[in-house]
Amino acid sequence: MLDFSDLSVVDAHCHPYRRADNLSADEWVNAVSFGGGSPEYLQAGGIEVDAAAQAMLQRVKRDTLYFRYMLRRMAEFFQVEATVDAVVAARNRAIKDNGYGVYAQGLHQAGKIETLIVDDGHPLPQVDLRRFRAQVGVEVLPVFRIEALIQQLLDEDSAWPEFQRAYDEGIAMALSDGGYVGLKSIIAYRTGLDIDPRSRSADQGMVALEKIRRARGRSGDAIKNLRDHLFCRAIELCIDFDAPFQVHTGMGDWEVHLDACRPALLMELLRYPAYRACKFLLVHTGYPYHAEAGYIANALPNIWCDLSEGLPFAGNAGARIIAEVLEMAPLSRVCYGSDTYGSPEPFYTSALLGKQALAQAMQQLINDGFMSEAQAREAAKMILSDNARELYDAS
Ligand SMILES: [Zn+2]
- Judge whether 4 lies within some domain: no
Model pLDDT, residue 294: 97
**What is the whole-number distance in angstroms between the Cα of residue 83 and the centre of ligand 1?**
27
Residues 78 and 171 in one domain: no
**What is the whole-number distance in angstroms between the Cα of residue 348 and the centre of ligand 1?**
16
- Sequence-ordered list of residues with C-beta below 8 angstroms from that of 339, at least 6 positions apart, any chain: 13, 14, 15, 283, 284, 308, 309, 313
More confident residue, 256 or 217: 256
**What is the whole-number distance in angstroms between the Cα of residue 250 and the centre of ligand 1?**
11
Residues 186 and 52 in one domain: no
What mean pLDDT do residues 286-307 have?
97
- Judge whether 334 lies within some domain: yes
Q: Is the pLDDT of residue 94 over 60?
A: yes
Is 338 in contact with 311 (CB distance < 8 Å)?
yes
Residues 248 and 345 in one domain: yes
**What is the whole-number distance in angstroms between the Cα of residue 121 and the centre of ligand 1?**
9
Is 336 in contact with 11 (CB distance < 8 Å)?
yes
**Distances 313 to 223, 348, 381 between C-alpha atoms, Å:** 32, 14, 22
What mean pLDDT do residues 64-81 have?
98
Q: How confident is the model at residue 319 (pLDDT cuts 50, 70, 90)?
A: very high
What mean pLDDT do residues 280-287 have?
96
Half-sphere exposure of 392 (CA within 13 A, CB side): 29
**What is the whole-number distance in angstroms between the Cα of residue 79 and the centre of ligand 1?**
30
Segment 233-269, tens digit of pLDDT: 999 999 999 999 999 999 888 888 888 899 999 999 9
**What is the whole-number distance in angstroms between the Cα of residue 99 and the centre of ligand 1?**
27
Half-sphere exposure of 32 (CA within 13 A, CB side): 30
Model pLDDT, residue 220: 74
Residues 56 and 188 in one domain: no
Model pLDDT, residue 36: 79
Residues 363 and 262 in one domain: yes
Residues 200 and 225 in one domain: yes
What's the number of domains the chain is made of? 2
What mean pLDDT do residues 183-198 have?
94
Highest mean pLDDT among 207-211, 219-223, 350-354: 350-354
**What is the whole-number distance in angstroms between the Cα of residue 184 and the centre of ligand 1?**
10
Residue 145: which CATH number? Answer: 3.20.20.140
**What is the whole-number distance in angstroms between the Cα of residue 119 and the centre of ligand 1?**
7
**What is the whole-number distance in angstroms between the Cα of residue 371 and the centre of ligand 1?**
32
**What is the whole-number distance in angstroms between the Cα of residue 6 and the centre of ligand 1?**
26
Q: Is the pLDDT of residue 218 over 70?
A: no
3-state secondary structure 300-359: CCCEEEECEEHHHHCHHHHHHHHHHHCCCCCHHHEECCCCCCCCHHHHHHHHHHHHHHHH
What mean pLDDT do residues 294-320 have?
96
Model pLDDT, residue 332: 98
More confident residue, 314 or 202: 314
**What is the whole-number distance in angstroms between the Cα of residue 339 and the centre of ligand 1?**
5
Residues 257 and 302 in one domain: yes
Q: How confident is the model at residue 213 (pLDDT cuts 50, 70, 90)?
A: confident
- Judge whether 50 lies within some domain: yes
**What is the whole-number distance in angstroms between the Cα of residue 340 and the centre of ligand 1?**
7
Q: How confident is the model at residue 51 (pLDDT cuts 50, 70, 90)?
A: very high
What mean pLDDT do residues 311-335 have?
97
**Distances 340 to 11, 18, 146, 312 between C-alpha atoms, Å:** 9, 13, 20, 8
Residues 70 and 133 in one domain: no
- What does the mean pLDDT of the chain come to? 95
**What is the whole-number distance in angstroms between the Cα of residue 30 and the centre of ligand 1?**
16
**What is the whole-number distance in angstroms between the Cα of residue 167 and the centre of ligand 1?**
23
- Judge whether 140 lies within some domain: yes
**What is the whole-number distance in angstroms between the Cα of residue 285 and the centre of ligand 1?**
12
Residues 193 and 80 in one domain: no
**What is the whole-number distance in angstroms between the Cα of residue 211 and the centre of ligand 1?**
31
**What is the whole-number distance in angstroms between the Cα of residue 13 and the centre of ligand 1?**
6
| Range(s) of the domain holding residue 306 | 112-391
Distance of CA 254 to the CA centre of its chain: 15
- Judge whether 47 lies within some domain: yes
Q: Which amino acid is at 186?
A: I
Residues 87 and 116 in one domain: no
Which has the closest alpha carbon to 308: 342, 283, 288? 283
Q: Is the pLDDT of residue 383 over 90?
A: yes
Residues 250 and 164 in one domain: yes
**Distances 108 to 68, 114, 115, 131, 226 between C-alpha atoms, Å:** 20, 8, 9, 16, 40
